Structure 1
Amino acid sequence: MTKRRTDGLSKELIVKAAKELLDDGGETALTFRALTTHLTTGYGAIYHHVANKSDLLAAATDDVIASVMTGVVVDAEPREALRTVALGLFDAIDAHPWVGAQLSREPWRPALLAVYERIGGLLDALGVPERALFDAAGALVNYVLGVAGQNAANARVLTLGEADRSAFLAKVAAQWADLDPERYPFVHKASAQLREHDDRDQFLAGVDIFLAGIATLR
């Protein structure tokens, strides 16, 4: 018989264990049965801190996003701080793919509010006029979370299929290169870049394009 833990079980420990289960197997792996086994404790000890799986998913998401937000230097130049926030979110969702789905599922939770508050505040500090601030923040947040979520989903599909990213991109690039250059001129030319591109670099290039456009709103 497995010996149950007798030391104090905090919400922080429960959230940490939940994140480990989520990272290993996705949302389906997070069950209270798996959690009790992982923590060698009983159901009652867990329910004392979290009401249900939804509550636990939200707490785990809040914890991941809070780590990103605290990693931004408060007195940094706004543009660089925005790039740091964006890249931090990209990396966090890449490491924890379930976070992206949770953010879109419950947009009223503290995690997404924290993202909007930080990005909106930095855009305000960058000099974006108030009349355009809401739209600018929404567009940038949607880009960051959308691309980060899609990248994480793509990476997970490749992992589950045991495919090598380089081999996969080489195959797709070869298919693009074989397309009729008159019908698909852009795709045909882009095939070489597709094979060698870095996801993080491309993502950050997109952020810079957004910021360049936002700069014209002043």
Structure 2
Amino acid sequence: MVAVAIELLDSGGEGGLTFRTLSERLATGPGAIYWHIANKGELLIAACDAVVTATMAACPDGATPQDTIRALALGMFDAMDEHPWIGSALIQSAGQLPAVRLFERIGQQVQALGVPAAAQWGAASTLLHYVLGVGGQNAANRVSAQTRELDREDFLGEVADAWSGLDEADFPFMRSVAEAFRDHDDRQDFAAGVDLILGGIGVGRPAASAKQKKLKR
């Protein structure tokens, strides 16, 4: 049932997942489905959990906590690219098992990095929200381009042209990065962002400590 639900979500998004279409694909009545799943929300969470579990299983621990976080982040980025509905489903299911699994795995690595207990929540939640936010946005952009029957090159070109046409006095930065955006690699940029956060976790603690000492004077 869950595997079929994933197929329906992949092909039609959340709107394509209904108990009617699911029962037709399974050649059974809706009543039989309700026996196992109470509502569409539970089915969406079950489908999301199946993808997250499979993704995590395919991302074994690396040589260092940083390696593990990078592998997990890139694995989720690829999973959201393949299953565009995952990003919004995970955000909607905050506190539910799929998001908790992911948060737990990230949190364990943050602890292994030696981040002080008081800073672990901030570090882990920042990584989680970056993965879900950027990965989900990338997937949403791809779906938007497909809906408009644009390939990636045309989609990026359209945005780059719009940025290049902005008023130079008001938008100097956006104009300056327009050409770079035209040819950028989404996955590479995503990985660079993960490294930036990991670097901040490493260098931010001494700076915070120094600031606290200054305030105590």
The TM-score normalised by the length of structure 2 is 0.89
Q: Supply the RMSD in Å over aligned alpha carbons.
A: 1.5
- CA–CA distance in 1 between the matches of 2:196 and 2:73? 13
Q: 2:65 maps to what in 1?
A: 78
Any conservation in 1 of the 2:84–2:139 contact (CA below 8 Å)?
yes
**1:75/1:180 CA distance change after superposition, 3 Å:** closer
Encode CA deviations 1:68-102: one digit per residue, 9 max, x unaligned. 11122235311111001111111111211222112
- The counterpart of 2:123, out of the listed 112, 119, 136, is 136
Q: 2:150 maps to what in 1?
A: 163
Q: 1:29 maps to what in 2?
A: 16
Give SS of 2:119's match.
helix
- 1:28 CA drift (Å): 1.3
User: In the comparison of the two structures, how many residue pairs are matched?
Assistant: 205
Q: 1:89 maps to what in 2?
A: 76
Q: 1:117 maps to what in 2?
A: 104
Please tell me the residue identity of whatever aligns with 2:163. Answer: W
Encode CA deviations 1:102-132: one digit per residue, 9 max, x unaligned. 2111211111111110001011111212121
- CA–CA distance in 1 between the matches of 2:175 and 2:27? 56
Determine if the alignment matches structure 1 residue 199 to structure 2 residue 172. no
Any conservation in 1 of the 2:61–2:67 contact (CA below 8 Å)?
no
- The counterpart of 1:54, out of the listed 16, 41, 58, is 41
Identity %: 47
- CA–CA distance in 2 between the matches of 1:160 and 1:25? 11
- CA–CA distance in 1 between the matches of 2:169 and 2:41? 51
Q: 1:106 maps to what in 2?
A: 93
Q: 1:209 maps to what in 2?
A: 196
Q: 2:5 maps to what in 1?
A: 18
- CA–CA distance in 1 between the matches of 2:112 and 2:88? 30
Show structure 2 runs of 5+ residues with no match: 207-217
- 1:152 CA drift (Å): 1.1
- 1:22 CA drift (Å): 0.7
Any conservation in 1 of the 2:23–2:30 contact (CA below 8 Å)?
yes
Q: 2:215 maps to what in 1?
A: none
The TM-score normalised by the length of structure 1 is 0.88
Determine if the alignment matches structure 1 residue 151 to structure 2 residue 138. yes
- 1:186 CA drift (Å): 1.9
- CA–CA distance in 2 between the matches of 1:102 and 1:175? 31
- CA–CA distance in 2 between the matches of 1:43 and 1:175? 48
- CA–CA distance in 2 between the matches of 1:69 and 1:126? 19
Please tell me the residue identity of whatever aligns with 1:169. Answer: L
